[in-house]
Amino acid sequence: MNFDLTDEQEQLRDAVRALGRRYGHDYFVAKARAGEHTTELWAEAGRLGYLGVNIPTEYGGGGGGIMELAIVCEELAAAGCPLLLLVVSPAIAATVINRHGTEAQRKRFLPGFADGSLTVVFAITEPEAGSNFHRLGTVARRDGDDWLLSGRKCFISGVDEARYVLVVARTEDASTGRLKPALFVVPTDAPGLTRSKLEMEILSPENQFLLYLDDVRLPADALVGESVDAGLPALFAGLNPERITVAAMGAGTGRYAIERASAYTASRKVWGGRSIGSHQGVSHPLAHAAVQVELARLMIYKAATLYDAGRDLEAGMAGNMAKYAAGEAAALAVDTAVQAHGGAGMTTEYGVATLLGAVRAGRIAPVSREMILNFVAQHHLGQEKSY
C-alpha cells in the first residue's frame, strides 16, 4: 500500500495550489458578489493544462486520470476557489464523451475540454423526478434522422458559461417499448431551449438554472455513442468521477476553512498572553474537523485510484463513501471555523462564512447524503432496497 502521490502528481498539486493562491478566496467572493464568473482563473487553468489533466494525450490532454482531476479540484478549493464547473465539465461531461462517445465525438469535443476552451454542463435533475431518476420525464423522439427533445430540468449549474449541456433524456426502446436513458449534447443556444436563473442562497460565481426543452431539434450525432444502448453505461460512467471530484472539492474547502481558523486562533489573544487556540474548547473542535477532512481525503484517493485502475464497481462504493464523508467534513469544518473566529467569523473579510451555503449544498448535491446511505445500506450492508 502506497500513500504517496507520484512526483508528477506532487508537482501538479504544488502548481495548482500556487495558481489558486494567486487568485484566492477574495477574488472568488468578489466575482460572486458582482454576478460575474471566474473567467480569468478558468482561462489560466486551461492554458496551463489543469482543466484537461484527465483527457487522453492524443486529444491534447494531460493523459492522467480522475486522481489528477481530483487534485486540481481539491487544491483550487483549498485556496478558497471551489469551482463546481470542474465537476460538471471535465469530470462528468468529458468522461462520458471519452468513454462512450463515438470517435467523431471524441475528436470534436475532447480537444476543447483539454485546453479548457469548451465547457459542457450536465442536466439530469428534474422537478418531478428529484432523486428518483427512474421517473425522468424528458423524452427524445425521432423525427426522420433528427431527434426532438422535450422536458424540464432544474438546478442545472453553469448553463450561462457553457457552450453545450449534456442532457439525460429517455428514448423508447424499439424492442420492449419501455423508456430508457440516452444522453444528448445540446447547444445552449439551440432553438427551443430556454432557461431561467434560480435565486440560490449560495455565494458562488456559478449559477443554477431551470431549463425548458420544447421540441429542441438535434441532428442524429447529438446522441452520445453509436446508439441509444450507450445511454445507461454512459450515464453510469459519469457518476463515479462526479462523486470523487465533488468530494475533493469538499475536502479542499474543509482544508481552507481549518487553515484560516487555525491561523486566527493561534494569533488572537483575549485572555492575557495566551492565544485562544491554547484553549482546548477552541482547538479540539478544529482538530476534530481536521481528522474528518483527512479521513475523507484518504477515501477520495482510494476511490480515484480504484477508478483509474478500471475497477468501476469498487470505485462506485468508495466514491459514494468519499462523497458522503467529504460533504459532512466540509460542512463541519466551515461551521467550526466560523465559530472559532467568533464575531469575525460572520464578516466577509475573514472569508469563512462566505462558504456556509456552498458546504451546506454539498450535503444535498450532486447526490444527497440520504441517497448515499441508501446505496451503502443496500450494497455494502446487504439490506433490502428501501425505495
Q: Residues interacting with ligand FAD, by CB under 6 A?
A: 88, 121-125, 130-131, 155-157, 202, 208, 361, 364-368, 370-371, 374, 387
Report the nearest approach of ligand FAD to the CB of residue 231 (Å): 15
- Beta carbon of residue 321, minimum distance to ligand FAD (angstroms, whole number): 16
Indicate the residue whose CB is closest to ligand FAD. Answer: 130
Considering the complex, what minimum distance in angstroms separates the CB of residue 181 from ligand FAD? 13
End-to-end C-alpha distance for the chain, whole angstroms: 38
Cβ distance to ligand FAD smaller for residue 76 or 261: 76
- Give Cβ neighbours of residue 348 (< 8 Å, ≥ 6 apart): 29, 354
Whichever of 16 and 235 has its CB closer to ligand FAD, that residue is: 235
Q: Cα–Cα distance between 12 and 20 in angstroms, integer?
A: 12
Q: Report, in Å, the least distance between residue 337 CB and ligand FAD.
A: 20
Question: Under a CB-based contact definition with an 8 Å cutoff, are residues 117 and 46 in contact?
Answer: yes
Least distance to ligand FAD from the beta carbon of 73, Å? 15
Give the chain's radius of gyration (CA, Å).
21
Instruction: Rank residues 181 and 366 by Cβ distance to ligand FAD and give the closer one.
Output: 366
**Minimum separation from the CB atom of position 361 to ligand FAD (A):** 4
Distance between CA atoms of residues 253 and 247, nearest Å = 10
Quick one: CA dihedral 58, 8, 99, 186, positive or negative?
Answer: negative
- Our CB check for ligand FAD shows the closer of 268 and 375 to be 375
What distance lies between CA 302 and its chain's CA centroid? 18
Pick the closer one to ligand FAD by CB: 168 or 300: 168
363-370 contacts, C-beta under 8 A, 24 or more apart: 363/327, 363/328, 363/331, 365/155, 365/246, 366/87, 366/242, 366/243, 366/246, 367/131, 367/242, 367/243, 367/320, 367/323, 368/131, 369/324, 369/327, 369/328, 370/131
Query: 136 or 306, CB closer to ligand FAD?
Result: 136
Q: How far is 357 from 235, CA to CA, in rounded Å?
A: 28
**In this complex, which beta carbon is closest to ligand FAD, that of residue 156 or of residue 330?**
156
From the CB of 2, what's the least distance to ligand FAD, in Å? 34
